[in-house]
Amino acid sequence: MTIATTNPATGEVERTFDPLPEPEIDRRVGRAADAFRSYRRTGMDERARWMNAAADILDAERDRAAALLTREMGKTITAARAEAAKCAAACRYYAEHAAGFLADRPADAEAVGAARAYVRYQPLGPVLAVMPWNFPLWQVIRFAAPGLMAGNAGLLKHASNVPQTALFLEELFRRAGFPEGVFQTLLIGSGQVERVLRDPRVRAVTLTGGEPAGRSVASVAADELKPSVLELGGSDPFVVTASADVPRAAEAAATSRCLNNGQSCISAKRFIVVEDVADEFEQAFVERMRALTVGDPMDESTDVGPLVSEQGRSDVEDLVADAVKQGATVLCGGARPPGKGWYYPPTVVAGVTPDMRMYHEEVFGPVASLFRVRDLDEAIDLANAIGFGLGSNAWTDDPRERERLVDDMEAGQVFINGTTTSYPQLPFGGVKRSGYGRELSREGARAFCNVKTVWIGHGAESAESDAPTE
């Protein structure tokens, strides 16, 4: 894939970039390794100062960053501004909390026959981050804010269609004051990822993206015995029980499904409704999906902009066509509008069965599958019936139903009476084919750390303890 900015609203290629030649890739990896050696010795206060400066730049230049996102991948300008603001908040969160998350953790020295025992969290070194285009700032900050605060260096291989955002991120950390080489963008194709990951100077990898990319990066990481964190796709269930506030659920359903023009791994995609409230939900949901405004992503009144690419749109069309061919019914949307740009309308498909691709696969566009079930048991079985396990949503006002849903949904997160959202304060990640490892919160700060056990025996020196205390 060429490295280029192609505006999804017009289909026009606006800028192209040459991939870095191999000697330059090696030079940059070397620079990351050199930078890491001194950066790991910087203090938390200093790192926090730089991270807060990055947040200030993101706030001050929110409009510039947002316009870049909209032009490169088509999200609405309102969503793009919100993404930049969320990134600034995450930088501030880690500037404030990383020292606490990564402080030495005392252990019971007596139980292990030591004078002192504790755990120290130390950075691993340069970490390769392979990131997707759908939240081009946020997905990177989600790794970089905790990763850099922990003392690692970052090497970003961003999606080939968001090169200007990738360069903005490199510039962001440099301007914020992080030492040269601590965060670098590698403008490279996916074919060059293996070479970087096999480089002994690169110590770990994090990937957010699709299953094939995840599988290939994970197998190279396994072969090299390097730690990896994978956040892959999702086809999140959205269960509505008989006790739910149906109008609220329907409103949230449409918002979630069309989030980021329908291109979010944690959008609700499969709407599973208990039959007592199925008619009411269907009517309200379809009405809200129809009411969304599709159009120019630079226009503030637009709810749903174009899909990222021509291929992205035809992938969605193929899934809908396959379902319809096998007997599913389109309740709204379902056909591309005429004209330029890769637009696709909010669509609801009913009667989806296991023979259809849409039942199992992630639809990366504003298309909902709507299912009717008898009761909560059937709803949970259907929610868990596929390979993904990223987020999950359920709507209920019954405490016993709530507990069952919390216990039985096979997902990295369960949101009750709300829709799956990533917050710096909460761990984020999936189970099953949605990946492994966790980002954000305390877990994200420790994801790329050597959890080093320190055991100090009895002796004259160890009596002068400077070890952490409970």
Instruction: Name the residue nearer to ligand O=CCCC(=O)O (CB basis): 82 or 99.
Output: 82
Q: Which amino acid is at 243?
A: S
| CA–CA gap between residue 198 and residue 25 (Å, rounded) | 13
Contact string 216-245 vs ligand O=CCCC(=O)O (x = CB under 6 A): ------------------------------
Q: Which is nearer to ligand O=CCCC(=O)O, 135 or 238 (CB)?
A: 135
Burial letters 268-277, b for 16+ CB under 10 A, else e: bbbbbbbebb
For residues 404 to 423, the per-residue mask of contacts with ligand O=CCCC(=O)O, x marking binding by CB under 6 A and - elsewhere, is: ------------------x-
Per CB under 6 A, 441 contacts ligand O=CCCC(=O)O: no
Check if 231 is active-site: yes
Distance, CA of 107 to CA of 95 (rounded, Å):
26
Per-residue contact track with ligand O=CCCC(=O)O, 420 to 439, x per CB under 6 A? --x-----------------
* E-state strands within 146-233: 153-157, 183-185, 204-208, 228-231
Give the pair of three-digit tokens for residue 334.
């379902």
Q: Compare residues 155 and 265 and give the one whose CB is closer to ligand O=CCCC(=O)O.
A: 265
Both tokens assigned to 385: 């019936």
- 144's CB contacts (< 8 A; 6+ apart) are 129, 154, 156, 169, 173, 183
Two structure tokens written together for 440: 């954000």
Selected catalytic residue, list 87, 91, 258, 265: 265
Contact between 135 and ligand O=CCCC(=O)O (CB under 6 A)?
A: yes
Count interface residues toward ligand O=CCCC(=O)O (CB under 6 A).
Answer: 7
| Contact call for residue 178 and ligand O=CCCC(=O)O (CB under 6 A) | no
The token pair at 188 is 């490279």
Q: Which is nearer to ligand O=CCCC(=O)O, 135 or 143 (CB)?
A: 135
Cα of first residue to Cα of last residue in the chain, in angstroms, is: 53
Q: Of 196, 265, 273, 349, which lies in the binding site for ligand O=CCCC(=O)O, with binding defined by CB under 6 A?
A: 265
Is 449 one of the catalytic residues?
A: no
Pick the piece of the chain touching ligand O=CCCC(=O)O (CB under 6 A) from 47-55, 210-218, 261-269, 330-338: 261-269
In whole angstroms, the minimum distance from the beta carbon of 31 to ligand O=CCCC(=O)O comes to 29
Q: Give the whole-angstrom CA distance, residue 413 versus residue 245.
A: 21
d(CA 253, CA 249): 6
* 364 in Cβ contact with 266 (< 8 Å): no
Q: How far apart are CA 372 and CA 188, in angstroms?
A: 46
Q: What is the DSSP pairing of strand 116-123 with strand 449-456?
A: antiparallel
Note whether 134 binds ligand O=CCCC(=O)O by CB under 6 A: yes
Active site residues: 231, 265
Residues that bind ligand O=CCCC(=O)O (CB under 6 A): 134-135, 138, 264-266, 422
